[in-house]
């Protein structure tokens, strides 16, 4: 009896030890594929980081290249006091002629750009589509700023609509800041008959002016990312793609822009 009892446990013990070995030798057919999900996840991550930005705008289509926009222009102020208008008329930006010139007109409630009158008048005479912008000061009264711009900026048929440049957030609560920007836009629209163009950085607009009420105003996007159009979920009409540009006829760095459309579309945007 005792030998039997001693033998059986030993045999069972051997079988228990051998079973895992037999399973290990045979293996599982899917074992080599165990790392595939991890590899696919890693590949997807790389595509998201490096390939997606080349094709996604945050909207409905691929990101266009700067070369796709052939209606080019510049914006200037007292920082570009001397412009050779004849040379500018013959200049090329990546092979495309300069079609429009936007000049700074006013700032806040009491500052008029010292070169505005000359820039604006000469731009028109030289055959460029002319535009004039106001630099918004959030700490100052918005309605007074609108009246100041209108009193010092004589827009006429063939000019671009009024333009509001918003770059400073200020210290007012965000709802009040947005209401003030809208006050300027609505006052000037009432006086000119056309919705003004709203200029600001893409990130600034998405953070502070991401409000459906601003969708009625054409967007001029400041976005310095090389040759790719703004990654903005929405439509933009103008794109300022560098503030360190170079063009014949203007000494020193200058802001360069392109229009999202054909020259006929730009002309259609202008005041009747």
Q: Give the domain CATH number at 129.
A: 3.20.20.80
Q: How far apart are CA 225 and CA 115, in angstroms?
A: 29
The average confidence (pLDDT) of the chain is 86
Q: How far apart are CA 65 and CA 40, in angstroms?
A: 30
Q: Tell me which residues are annotated as active site.
A: 75, 167
Percent with pLDDT over 90 in the chain? 72
Query: Is 94 part of a structural domain of the chain?
Result: yes
Q: Looking at 55, 78, 95, which one is the last position of a domain?
A: 55
For position 36, what pLDDT does the model report?
64
Same domain, 179 and 91: yes
- The pTM is what? 0.78
**pLDDT tens digits, 201-259:** 999 999 999 999 999 999 999 999 878 898 888 899 999 999 999 999 999 999 999 99
Q: Which residue has the higher pLDDT, 5 or 121?
A: 121
Same domain, 157 and 197: yes
Same domain, 51 and 91: no
* Residues forming beta bridges with residue 198, ordered by sequence position: 164, 219
Q: Looking at 29, 55, 81, which one is the last position of a domain?
A: 55
In this model, does residue 170 exceed pLDDT 50?
Answer: yes
Percent with pLDDT over 70 in the chain? 78
**pLDDT tens digits, 101-114:** 999 999 999 999 99
For position 49, what pLDDT does the model report?
52
Between vectors from CA 259 to CA 62 and to CA 214, what angle results, nearest 5°? 80
Of 28-32, 136-140, 205-209, least confident by mean pLDDT is 28-32
Query: Is 238 part of a structural domain of the chain?
Result: yes
Confidence band, pLDDT 50/70/90 cuts, at residue 11:
very low
Domain count for the chain? 2
Query: Is 60 part of a structural domain of the chain?
Result: no
Segments forming the whole domain that contains residue 39: 2-55
For position 62, what pLDDT does the model report?
52
For position 252, what pLDDT does the model report?
94
């Amino acid at each position: 009896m005792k030998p039997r009892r001693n033998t059986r446990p030993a045999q069972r013990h051997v079988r228990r030890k051998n079973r895992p070995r037999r399973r290990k030798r045979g293996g599982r057919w899917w074992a080599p594929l165990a790392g595939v999900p991890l590899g696919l996840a890693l590949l997807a991550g790389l595509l998201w980081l490096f390939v997606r930005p080349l094709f996604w705008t945050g909207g409905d289509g691929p990101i266009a290249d700067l070369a796709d926009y052939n209606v080019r222009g510049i914006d200037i102020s007292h920082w570009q006091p001397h412009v050779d208008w004849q040379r500018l008329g013959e200049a090329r930006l990546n092979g495309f002629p300069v079609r429009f010139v936007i000049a700074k007109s006013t700032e806040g409630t009491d500052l008029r750009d010292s070169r505005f009158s000359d820039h604006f008048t000469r731009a028109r005479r030289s055959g460029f589509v002319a535009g004039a912008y106001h630099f918004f000061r959030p700490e100052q009264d918005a309605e007074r700023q609108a009246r100041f711009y209108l009193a010092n900026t004589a827009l006429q048929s063939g000019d671009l609509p009024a333009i509001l440049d918003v770059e400073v957030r200020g210290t007012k609560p965000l709802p009040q800041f947005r209401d003030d920007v809208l006050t300027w836009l609505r006052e000037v629209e009432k006086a000119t008959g056309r919705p003004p163009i709203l200029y600001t950085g893409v990130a600034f607009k998405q953070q502070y002016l991401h409000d459906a009420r601003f969708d009625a105003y054409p967007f001029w996007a400041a976005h310095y990312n090389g040759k790719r159009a703004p990654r903005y979920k929405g439509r933009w009409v103008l794109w300022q793609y560098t503030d360190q540009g170079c063009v014949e006829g203007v000494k020193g760095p200058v802001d360069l822009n392109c229009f999202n459309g054909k020259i006929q579309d730009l002309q259609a945007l202008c005041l009747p």
